[in-house]
Structure 1
Amino acid sequence: MKYMLLVCGDDTNDASDMAPVEPWVEELGDRGVRRHGHRLALPADAVTVRVRGGEVLRTDGPFAETKEYVAGFDILDCDSLEEAIEAAAKHPVATIGAMEVRPFWEDEDAEGEIRRLEAELTEAARTGDVERTVACHAQDAEVVSNGRPYRGVEALRKLWVETGPVTREVLEFRVHVDESIAFGHALVRTDDRLLRVTTGYRNNGPRWLIVHQHVTEATS
């Protein structure tokens, strides 16, 4: 299960004796526990946005007036909350600040959604539905087919108009999901061609979309 670790600093505490963070990052990265993370700019660089009565209100600074602030974040993949707490307790900032450990909302089936996207692409290709096919791609998607790049939806629309209806059968498919991006490797048969397809996906919020695809003839 994934956990968000909010690293909360306290600018009133002396950090001169704090241990360096790099060994913690390296250890958890080597163990596959830490998936991603980054340091954030100071609260003075923050902008708080509120909408009241249809008016956008912008305030320079953090949303809460407090000496503690979110200084960074880490995404952990742990078997239990106890394991996440143990990892948080080893973070050097825990000695001078605070660590908030919060589980991800677990109601998503990212791999299932990507497989359904591939099924949608297959059906759209079979019927020659260009708009349905293009809708499987992000606006800035790039498809490289036999060395020729097609960038953006207009280029993709032209490609699929030229291609026309085609039988598309996915023979093999492996997908790896990492937060909001995913990578797929497939062996695809289209009419009399056998293709190897490497695909990059991005979760844009409502759904997964194809952002990059590299298509080559399969040699074996």
Structure 2
Amino acid sequence: MKYMMLVRGDDSGDPAAGKPVEPWVEEQGADGVRLHGHRLRPAAEAVTVRVRDGEVLRTDGPFAETKEYVGGFDVLQCAGLDEAVRVAARHPGAADGAVEVRALWDDEDAEAEIRRLDTELTEALRARDIERLLSCYAPDVEVFHSGAGRERRGTDALRTLWEGEFASTTGPVGRELRRLRVHVDESIALGHAVVRVHATRTDGTPLDEVVRVTTGYRNIGLRWVIVHEHVSVALEGRP
């Protein structure tokens, strides 16, 4: 399970006077327990935002007047709460402050969601549906297709690319996923795939290529989208 660890300390103290946190970060990171985290700027630099009757109210400072503030956070991957508590107890902040440990809500299977996104790409290609294709990408996507010769940025440029691809072929465009490896880290993921693309060119000759695809994904809250895509032709016989 994943846990959020909130490190609390006395804001009146000197952060430099405490024990260094780097050894704990290095140890827990090497063990695969600490996924990521970061220190926060002092509470005095915080801004509290409220909306009342449609008006945005901004207050300088934290939302509550207290000497104890959250100074940083870490996301942990642990077998259960007992392990998360043991990890938190080893954090230097637990000795002179307090560490709050809270479980994250269980997420959907991210890899399964990404594989469903890949299936959507396949079906959109077969249907030659550009709008359906573009819905799989972030508006600021960066794409490099070796055949296109240059990098494309944004869905407008991607639309032009696919319009050209469809204009040069007839009938459905087949897409066969031969291999896909996915690595997920919180809200971002990286995929490595080998894909066979086949269609019929407008002059009647066959188009049949095996390509390597490196894809960057981002979770935008309700779904995953593609933010980076690099396509290159695979070596013959070495997929």
Same fold (TM over 0.5): yes
Deviates more, 1:53-62 or 1:189-198: 53-62
The match for 1:41 is 41
> Does structure 1 retain, via aligned residues, the 8 Å contact 2:216–2:226?
yes
- 2:189 pairs, out of 158, 182, 189, with 182
Structure 2 unaligned residues grouped into runs of 5+: 167-171, 199-207
Cα 1:215–1:7, aligned 2, differ >3 Å: closer, same or farther?
same
Following superposition, the deviation at residue 107 of structure 1 comes to 3.5
Structure 1, residues 38-78: CA drift from partner, whole Å, max 9, x if none? 11000111111111111111111111111111100011111
Under a length normalisation based on structure 2, what TM-score does the superposition of the two structures give? 0.89
Residue correspondence of structure 1 range 163-182 to structure 2 within 5 A: 163-164=165-166, 165-182=172-189
Alignment-mate amino acid for residue 157 of structure 1: R
* 1: CA distance, partners of 2:68 / 2:174: 58
1:15–1:96 Cα contact (<8 Å) kept: no
Percent identity over the alignment is: 64
* Partner deviation per Cα, 1:21-44 (whole Å, 9 max, x = no partner): 010001001111111011100011
Which is higher, the Rg of structure 1 or of structure 2?
Answer: 2
1:14–1:96 contact (8 Å) kept in structure 2: no
1:156 corresponding residue in structure 2: 158
For 2:26, the equivalent position in structure 1 comes to: 26
Deviation at 1:198, TM superposition (A): 0.6
**Partner SS state of residue 88, structure 1:** helix
* Secondary structure at 2:113 match in 1: helix
Aligned to 2:169: none
Alpha-carbon distance between aligned partners in 2 of 1:8 and 1:121, rounded to the nearest angstrom: 45
Supply the distance in 1 between the matched residues of 2:93 and 2:75 (Cα, whole angstroms).
16
- In the TM superposition, residue 11 of structure 1 has moved relative to its aligned partner by 2.2
Please name the residue that 1:10 is paired with: 10
Question: Is this contact kept in 1: 2:11–2:43, CA < 8 A?
Answer: no
Contact 1:18 1:95 in 2 (8 A): no
